[in-house]
Structure 1
Amino acid sequence: MAGPDLPIMCTLPPNAMVERLTRFEALFGASLTGLEREPLLLRLAFEAGAEREARLRELFAAEQRCCAFLTFGYERTEAGLRVSIAAPAGAGATLDGFQALAERTAPPQAVARSWTG
C-alpha cells in the first residue's frame, strides 16, 4: 500500500499521457463489464481471458509506476479480472478521472449496471 509520504502526483511525462489514456480507452471499450465507486476506491470489472488479463495487468502496472500514491489490487473472477484502485485522502480526483474515462468509453450496458447497482 502507498505510504503517507508519497506525493500525490503523476510522474508520467505529458507527451506520454495521451498514449496512456488511449490504451485505457481501448481496453475499457473492449472489455469493461462494470464499475463500482466509493469515495476513495474504484473497482473495475473486465471480461478477460489470459491474453487480455496480461495486457490489463501490464497497463495498470505502468500506471502504478507513475502514480505511486495509488494502490492497485487484482482479483481473478469467473468472468475475468477485477481491478481495484485505492487512493489516499486528497486524491479522490484521480479516481474521478479514471471513472469518467471508463464511463465514457465502456459499453453502455456496463455503465448502466454501475448506475443501477
Structure 2
Amino acid sequence: MTTDVSLDQGWVPEACTLPTAQRPLRLAEFDELFATAVRQAERLDDRRLRLTLTGPAELETTVRDLTERESRCCSFFTFGVSTRRPGQVVLDVAVPAGHVDVLDALAARAVQQGTP
C-alpha cells in the first residue's frame, strides 16, 4: 500500500484529515521550524527519522505543540520529543510501512528548508 503525497502540498498525504484550507498554514509552520531550527537530519531506518533542532528555550514547547496538532490530523505519525539540553530538541518521527513515502517527503523537506 502506498500513500499519495500531493506535490503541491509538499509532504501532506491524502490520509491527512486537516481541512484543505488549513494545510498550507500547517506546512508553513513546519517549513518555519525546519528553516530556523533543524541542524541535523538522520534517517535511522526506512520508517524512522531523527531531527536535531536548536533554538530558543521555548523551542521544545513549539515542537510539542506542532507535533501534537499534527498527530490529531495525521494519526499515522508517531512523534517523540526530547531535550538534550536547553535549546536543543531531538524530534523522532516514525511511520508505519504504508507511509514511508510521507516520511521520505518530510525528510527531504527538512533537509531542503533546514541546515543539516
Tell me the TM-score normalised to structure 1 length.
Answer: 0.79
Q: 2:38 maps to what in 1? A: 32
State the alpha-carbon separation in 2 of the partners of residues 40 and 93 from structure 1: 9
Confirm or deny that 1:82 pairs with 2:82. Answer: no
Q: Which runs of 5+ in 2 are unaligned?
A: 1-13
TM-aligned CA deviation for residue 75 of structure 1: 1.6
Q: 1:42 maps to what in 2? A: 49
State the alpha-carbon separation in 1 of the partners of residues 84 and 67 from structure 2: 17
TM-aligned CA deviation for residue 69 of structure 1: 1.3
Question: Which secondary structure does the structure 1 equivalent of 2:18 belong to?
Answer: coil
TM-aligned CA deviation for residue 10 of structure 1: 1.1
Q: RMSD across aligned C-alpha pairs, in angstroms? A: 1.5
Confirm or deny that 1:9 pairs with 2:15. Answer: yes
TM-aligned CA deviation for residue 48 of structure 1: 3.3
TM-aligned CA deviation for residue 32 of structure 1: 0.5
Q: Give the one of 37, 43, 61 matched to 1:54.
A: 61
Runs of 4+ in 1 over 3 A off after TM superposition: none
Tell me the TM-score normalised to structure 2 length.
Answer: 0.80
Confirm or deny that 1:20 pairs with 2:29. Answer: no
% identical aligned pairs: 35
Aligned length: 101
